[in-house]
């Protein structure tokens, strides 16, 4: 399996890094690198993330990492990272269905 990042997910990751960089540029890069590295865990076990409660679709799952939700879709032979956002808010359908998983 390979991991593919959607435009939405990459955009959100850049926003997260920019926000953290306002206080500490080094920590911003370290944190976003950490989030990306955490997605590598799902290559060997794609169903390790929980099913996203807003959708209850077994092909849309998420990892909860340090207060952030990394949402991914299971496709044929690949894992699509659909979006990344702060865990205190609910996901918007447009974030998921913008890119086909």
pLDDT in tens, 44-60: 999 999 999 988 899 99
pLDDT of amino acid 54:
87
CB atoms within 10 A of CB 50: 11
Mean local confidence (pLDDT), 68-83: 94
* Cα 37 from Cα 89, distance rounded (Å): 23
Contact 62, 38 (CB under 8 A): no
Q: What is the pLDDT of residues 6-45, one digit of tens each?
A: 999 999 999 999 999 999 999 999 999 999 999 999 999 9
Ordered domains of the chain (ranges, CATH): 2-97 (3.30.2310.20)
Residue 101: its pLDDT value, please?
45
The answer on pLDDT for 91 being more than 50 is yes
The structure tokens listed for 44 are 């060997």
């Amino acid at each position: 399996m390979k991991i593919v990042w959607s435009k939405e997910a990459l955009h959100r990751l850049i926003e997260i890094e920019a926000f953290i960089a306002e206080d500490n540029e080094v920590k911003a890069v370290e944190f976003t690198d950490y989030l990306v590295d955490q997605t590598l865990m799902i290559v060997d076990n794609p169903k390790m993330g929980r099913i996203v409660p807003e959708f209850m679709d077994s092909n849309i799952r998420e990892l909860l990492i340090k207060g952030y939700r990394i949402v991914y879709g299971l496709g044929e032979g690949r894992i699509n990272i659909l979006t990344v956002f702060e865990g205190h808010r609910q996901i918007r359908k447009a974030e998921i269905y913008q890119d086909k998983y």
